[in-house]
Structure 1
Amino acid sequence: MDIAELAEAAWALTGGGQGRTVLGIAGPPGAGKSTLATALVDRIERLHGAAAAGYLPLDGFHLSNRRLERLGLTARKGSAPSFDVWGYEALLRRVHEDTGRDIYVPDYDRTLHEPVAARHLLRPDTRLVVTEGNYLACVAPGWSEARRLMAEIWYVETPDAVRDARLVERQLAGGRDAAGARAWVDGNDHPNGEWVKEFRAQCDRIIPELDLTGTGRD
């Protein structure tokens, strides 16, 4: 399927109703989740009007670096325990329940290396919310509760070699040297990804790697 067909399938989840529908995009680190999610939002807005769809990234619920240090999780930043999963679940519930107000959505800033508040906005007329993150399909406290608030979860499946190259480049761009980037990917991103893969079968649709060049925001 191409992005046009995926956007049509995503919009169909709303069923023409007046409430909000949440679509989850899961997959291991470096799979291309944010690129797919933002491409879907962009295309749906072009077809159905501004604010018809909105973006809600799990990365906005990263714990701060100071909190990670206090918890002894600095070396495991990006692992499931390094997220405020219950805050994420609470925002998803608000997406469904508070449909008459603007909802501000946090994100993660790769320059600051910290979560930032209110980067994205869901309007009252937003019908489809596309959320993405590594652990959306995982069966564990907090993640399971968040899963129940999503109509479907789609899994982005990208070859490990492609993901590895992206992850190393991400760490280099973030300021690590070559050895540090390699160590981080091997010691953190790869173990996180292997756990995510265990829950592939929990997803409703498997999306193979797509060429989305020029279709997303990042």
Structure 2
Amino acid sequence: MEITELAAAAWALAPEGGRTLLGIAGAPGAGKSTLARALVAGLERRYGAGSAAYVPLDGFHLSNAQLDRLGLAARKGSAPSFDVWGYAALLRRVLAERERPLYVPDYDRTLHEPVAARHVVVPSARLVVTEGNYLACDAPGWREARACLAEVWYLEAPDDVRQVRLIERHMTGGRDETAARARMQRNDAPNGEYVKASRSHCDRIVSVVGLDALNRPY
């Protein structure tokens, strides 16, 4: 399926005059943020600027200081390393507050920290696409976030493709190849297995194979 077909399916979820949230889940390195951004860009080209918006879960990473305090520095990116309740609260605001812009945090891979207000959901946004590893997981906080989403799509990518992307991501972030591989094996791999268990909870399975916009590192 092409991006244009997926964009049409996403837009069909959003009733005229309302606002709908679509979630994209998947294991680390699948290409979730690339797909979400491609969907939003395609919809804005077709329906006009401000018709769609992007909300990444990664903006709700706990800061490094909080991870150190909680003993989670080595498990950064795991489900407990996110402020899931803050994320769920933002999703509820996205659905309820349409009279003003809503500013949305992101994660900066250069700073290795979350940053405030990098994205915005403008009042005209009819479809809001959010993405993150754990959106379909049946656990406290994630269930509350899932309740805000009209559908959750699972982006599936071969493990070997994801592993290459993750190693490249860690090397771009400053690790040498040995450290990047170790990080992938000790942290990303178990996170990925946890996320895979949520696949059956998703409304649609999207394969990265054949989606040209996703067949590259991000």
Report the TM-score range of the alignment, normalised by the length of the smaller protein.
over 0.9
What code does the residue aligned with 2:213 have? T
1:10 aligns with 2:28: no
Deviation at 1:184, TM superposition (A): 0.3
- Which residues of 2 match residues 58-207 of structure 1 at below 5 A? 58-207=57-206
Aligned to 2:35: 36
TM-score after normalising by structure 1: 0.97
- Which residues of 2 match residues 44-59 of structure 1 at below 5 A? 44-59=43-58
* CA shift digits 1:72-126 (9 cap, x unpaired): 0000000000000000000000001111110000000000000000000111110
Distance in structure 2 (CA, Å) of the matches to 1:110 and 1:132:
17
Work out whether residues 23 and 131 of structure 1, in 8 Å CA contact, stay in contact via their aligned partners in 2.
yes
Work out whether residues 35 and 213 of structure 2, in 8 Å CA contact, stay in contact via their aligned partners in 1.
no
Compute the RMSD of aligned alpha carbons: 1.4
Deviation at 1:213, TM superposition (A): 3.2
Deviation at 1:178, TM superposition (A): 1.2
Work out whether residues 88 and 144 of structure 2, in 8 Å CA contact, stay in contact via their aligned partners in 1.
yes
What code does the residue aligned with 2:56 have? P
Structure 2 unpaired stretches of 5+: none
Deviation at 1:211, TM superposition (A): 2.9
Moved >2 Å (runs of 4+): 210-216
Deviation at 1:21, TM superposition (A): 0.2
92 and 161 in structure 1: CA distance in 2 versus 1, 3 angstrom threshold: same
**Secondary structure of the corresponding residue to residue 50 of structure 2:** coil
TM-score after normalising by structure 2: 0.97
**Secondary structure of the corresponding residue to residue 51 of structure 1:** coil
How many pairs are equivalent? 216
Distance in structure 2 (CA, Å) of the matches to 1:214 and 1:72:
34
Work out whether residues 55 and 131 of structure 2, in 8 Å CA contact, stay in contact via their aligned partners in 1.
yes
Structure 1 unpaired stretches of 5+: none
